[in-house]
Amino acid sequence: MRLAGLATRLSVFVGEDDMWHHKPVHHEIVKRARDAGLAGATVLRGCEGYGAGSVVHTTRLLDLTEDLPVVVIIVDTDEKIRAFLPQLDELVAEGMVTLEEVEVVHYAGRKP
């Protein structure tokens, strides 16, 4: 698959400890993105952040905490990303989802 030109970036902000049927929710988002045929997904673990509750979660030694911020980033065509959004309605109880138009300069998928 090749993706170039205008696309949509989906960013899903959740907590590392957010669960879906006894598994981290970010794992389930990645699995469902793959099952939906989306171009790819990346999970980034934050070292510090806070959300709607204004509680700071950090990796600093004196304030060491669990439930660090995690963001799942998926880039694909706008049509495919928007078709995937209902999956997130089911999975994300607390968090934030953003959509941004991006320009993909180069993406080369595996050869079949």
Q: pLDDT per residue over 25-81, tens digit each?
A: 999 999 999 999 999 899 999 877 766 666 666 665 555 566 788 999 999 999 999
Residues 14 and 72: beta-carbon distance below 8 Å: yes
Written as six digits, the tokens of 100 are 């941004």
Dist CA 30 CA 60 (whole Å) = 28
Q: pLDDT per residue over 15-33, tens digit each?
A: 888 999 999 999 999 999 9
Written as six digits, the tokens of 46 are 């934050």
Bridge partners of 104, per DSSP, are 5
| Structural domains of the chain sorted by starting position, each given as residue range(s) with its CATH number in brackets | 5-104 (3.30.70.120)
